[in-house]
Structure 1
Amino acid sequence: MTLLSKAVRGDAVLQQVPDASAHLRSASGTVCLPYQPESVGVARRFVCARLREWGLDDLVDDSAVIVSELVTNSSKTGCHTRMLVGVRRPTDRVVRILVGDGSRSMPVMIQAGPDATSGRGLAMVHRLTNGRWGVTLLPFGKVVHADLTTPAPINRSP
């Protein structure tokens, strides 16, 4: 079962969509990381390097924030089986960042107060992706994905 965020009057809700459990199993561009604080930086460098290889330098900054937040959340689940980080191009106009872990705990977007020292991560992911992020529940874990739109190709026809 896949759950996607959907903006409704400024709030995020989750809706069920068809199964997408093969996200992390398909194609290359996936790295397995330990549940350690250092994994956040490794994941960030991995995703940013891949985007630069694809010539998508305009998406590097937003992707770095997104993957950092998703890996940080994954590392806090208490699960220690595996954490997978992937980056895909499902279409020429979309980059998908994926973080899979062995926990079925669902991510929760909360309203962090002005004095809160944490709790803004998923709200940032939601804003940077224009609400295009979601969760795929797996038998032994989940995959959280976030989609960014690539810049429109330049039409160089005469």
Structure 2
Amino acid sequence: MPVIRGEMKWTVLTNNQRKALLKSLVSELAGKSSPNGPVIYEIPLELSDRVDILVVWDEFRELRSEDRTTLILDAYKDRKAKIAQALGVTREEALQQYLLLYEVKPISHSGFAGVDMGKVRKAMLEEGGFPLGEDRIALRFPTQAMAEEASHRLMQQVPQVTWYIEQVNS
């Protein structure tokens, strides 16, 4: 069988870049979100007290995979022993590699005429959604359980719409 290799593009992570990215990751973990900050998924493993960490962040663009992983582990500091695997990807990579298979979407059986779409958008962004174009928010999760939990929170925040979960196949 042939070996098929993609083209690798990366830049060397400078010390200043490392400090800035690490600061942003630590802030996000402390609950201080920023609009263009990372989305961090802590995925519990069955029969274990360990987690997989998936960080989706466009600031990872052009960074080597090992630099991304090191940044994530460093951000978790004393909790990194509980991490089974840490993976950092951009939004595009997460979608291309099917890492976020479950999408939470709003629907309204009577249309969205009486719905404050700004409130829907804000709630989706607060749950970790990211813009795809000007008027669409993608709210995706790596596990069905995480998508269900987000859907329940969204039902509380924006009860005027129905939230459903779709498994993305392609």
Q: TM-score range by the shorter chain?
A: under 0.3
More strand per residue: 1
- Give the TM-score normalised by structure 1: 0.24
More helix per residue: 2
- Give the TM-score normalised by structure 2: 0.23
